[in-house]
Every structure is written in structure tokens, then in C-alpha cells.
Amino acid sequence: MNKLFYRLAITVLSIWYLCIQAMAGSFTAGKGTFLLNGEPTIIKAAELHYPRIPRPYWDQRIKMCKALGMNAVCLYVFWNSHESTPDQFDFSGQNDLREFVKLCHDNGMLVILRPGPYVCAEWEMGGLPWWLLKKKDIRLRESDQYFLERVDKFQKAVAEQVADMTIANNGPIIMIQVENEYGSYGIDKEYVGTIRDMLRKNFGPEVTLFQCDWSSNFLNNGLDDMIWTINFGTGANIDQQFAPLKKVRPNSPLMCSEFWSGWFDKWGANHETRPAADMIAGIDEMLS
């Protein structure tokens, strides 16, 4: 009787495990389209930065984006916000990355995670912690041993918060970005490859990785095993922006991973604005 019970228990557990595996989602690049769980899909992502939004408003902001017709939230992870002091990581309160991702999931929104290490985003040092500069002769965003050791610790800490929330684990995170517009900084495929390998190590081999850059420089650091996306802003000639990517990867899905509606002001220069009608026209053209 006991043997029969154990056999039944093992059978039930095996069936349960197979069901869980079958439920696991996927997000990949297909021929000319992204595939969400094997089905063609268009990603319409709103950019939301949780440290910039008072926590009580997180859920409301996500709901507003969904009401606008978005189906995903794109977010940076600001290293210097989470590790303002070396080896003291803060993912609480306003820095609660996991809770923010969970709120996206609860609202039926997919998530594109952008953990840098450099993120730009008109944020202090582009997200790099100030204390890195205490190391004499450090080379930021390069294959500097100390810099890479610190990046790896940070990426591991981020993964400990949300690695189990990727779509492969039935979570909302569909893609993770490697670095950020690195072609605007330098040419170093070895460095970009190291950041890629860190993310794969910490988030698992199933995660879909991508890198973004401008159409004029994306080939300088483009790695063959990642999705490539192009960044441009309001008023750009969209066919022209995507033309270089279509030439080298004719079957690639086309994605503008940053369609900026404005630009930052520079001291002594004019206030930068863009017409709303131009932005709407650009979005409409891409969706069409």
C-alpha cells in the first residue's frame, strides 16, 4: 500500500513538473517579427523609471500607460541608486525593483529590463556610482578589472531580485538590454561581450538579450548573438533609420528601443522642444 502511494505521489509530481514546464513562456526574434510564446507580437513599451516616480504612484502610472495602449514597460536599473555605498545594496522603498516589476505583471504588462551598467537617462553619471572614481586610474565602461568586478556584483544583486521573473519563469521580463548606446562612447566588442556574459550568467541562458545604438554606429559593437535595436527621436526619417539594420539583417524585427519625444537642454542653448504632432506621426508610421 505504501509503495503504491509513493508511486502515485511520484507520478503526480512528475505530471505537475511537466505542466509547469509547459507553461513556461518565451520571447524570441522571428522572421520580421517578435514571437511571444510562439505568436507574432508588436511591442509597444512605455518608459517608466521607478526611482523617479513616488512609490504610491507606481501602480497609477503603470495603469496610465496601459490605458494609452501600451503592452510593456521599459525601465532602467540605476546602479548608483541601489549601491550608493560599496557592497551595501538597497532594494527597499523607492528602490524596490521587484515590487515595481510585480506591479507591471499584475497589470498585465510585459517588462524590458535595462540594467546598464551605464544607462545615461539624464541621470547622475549615467547611473555609475560616484565611489568608482575613488579607484585611481579606473577606466569606466572598459575592460578594467576593478570596474568589471563591481559591475558583476551589481548585476548579481539585480538578478537576485528579479531573475526568477523572466518570461522563461512565467514572469513579465521578456528582454534584457546589454549596456546602453555603447557606440556613442567607444568601440570595444570585447567589453560589450563581457557584459553580455555577465547577464547570461546571472539571469540564465534562456533570457533574450538585446543591444541598442544609433543607426550610424550600431555595427561598431554589434554582437551576432543578440537582437539589435535602433534609437532615434521625433522627426527622424524612420525608413532611413532602419535601412542599415535591414541591409545586414533583412529578417530582423524592427524596433526603435528609444523614440525620444524631446531632448535635454544645454547650458546657454535654447530650450529644446518637439511638436506633439510630429511624435504622433512617427509612432503611427512605425505601427503601420
Domain ranges of the chain: 25-287
CA-nearest of 170, 114, 189, 117 to 146 is: 117
Model confidence over 116-149: pLDDT tens digits? Answer: 999 999 999 999 999 999 999 999 999 999 999 9
Express each pLDDT in 37-86 by its tens digit.
999 999 999 999 999 999 999 999 999 999 999 999 999 999 999 999 99
Q: Give the predicted TM-score (pTM) of the model.
A: 0.91
> What's the pLDDT tens digit per position in 92-110?
999 999 999 999 999 999 9
What number of other Cβ atoms are within 10 A of residue 171's Cβ?
Answer: 20
Per-residue CA distances from 198 to 76, 109, 167 (Å): 17, 26, 19
CATH among 1.10.3430.10, 3.20.20.80, 3.40.50.300, 3.40.50.720 for 25-287:
3.20.20.80
Residues annotated as catalytic (active site), given as ranges = 181, 258
What was the pLDDT predicted at 264? 85
Q: What DSSP designation does 267 have? A: T
